Structure 1
């Protein structure tokens, strides 16, 4: 089995792609400010799931990378909030990503919790 079979990875990867696409539609000055931060944070979620999965034989390392993925997801949520508030014209595009961000957070929390049992 590969980490690409994990539903949380699949959702996180799609989230990163969607955030990337949204960020490329921002005004030029935001492309390299908030847009860049959003791209990095959102892509870090799936990237840390992948890196953790590669270390899954070491439970503490696996857990650590999943916690980092969760923190990156939280950061991406904050950048989405900034975009919605600073660019009200983008709010309708940001809203579904905020919902997905929250669902990925719940999934990661459940996944991390399941590792302890």
Structure 2
């Protein structure tokens, strides 16, 4: 027995992405705990959370709306990644990997959302 969203590749990838962001943010300075660390973790977790929440709704239009929230959360993560890179909390290599992951997940969510028609 499983929920429908567990079969969605976009949900699976966003779950992995959230864990990658969590691990990376463990190395942020302590004085960022209630700022950038919290923000990037909440935004990255929000991607998968919105996919799962939207998937159980009866309306396809509502599901599309929640996928839009996931896309916006990814944009927020990217901005946090830029902040972390600019503040020298992460390497250029880590930034590039997670930036590319964000971009790929976003495009997969957009493609999936475009296939959902009311």
- 2:22 is matched with 20
After the TM superposition, list the runs of 4 or more consecutive aligned residues in structure 1 that deviate by more than 6 angstroms.
Answer: none
- The alignment status of 1:76 with 2:82, answered yes or no, reads no
- 2:5 is matched with 3
Which runs of no fewer than 5 residues in structure 1 stay unpaired?
Answer: none
Contact 2:60 2:117 in 1 (8 A): no
Contact 1:42 1:76 in 2 (8 A): yes
- The alignment status of 1:32 with 2:34, answered yes or no, reads yes
Which runs of no fewer than 5 residues in structure 2 stay unpaired?
Answer: none
Q: TM-score normalised to the size of structure 1? A: 0.91
- The one-character-per-residue Cα deviations of 1:38-89 (angstroms, maximum 9, x if unpaired) are 000000000000000111x211211111111111111111111111121165
**How far apart in 1 are the matches of 2:37 and 2:11?**
22
**How far apart in 1 are the matches of 2:54 and 2:90?**
37
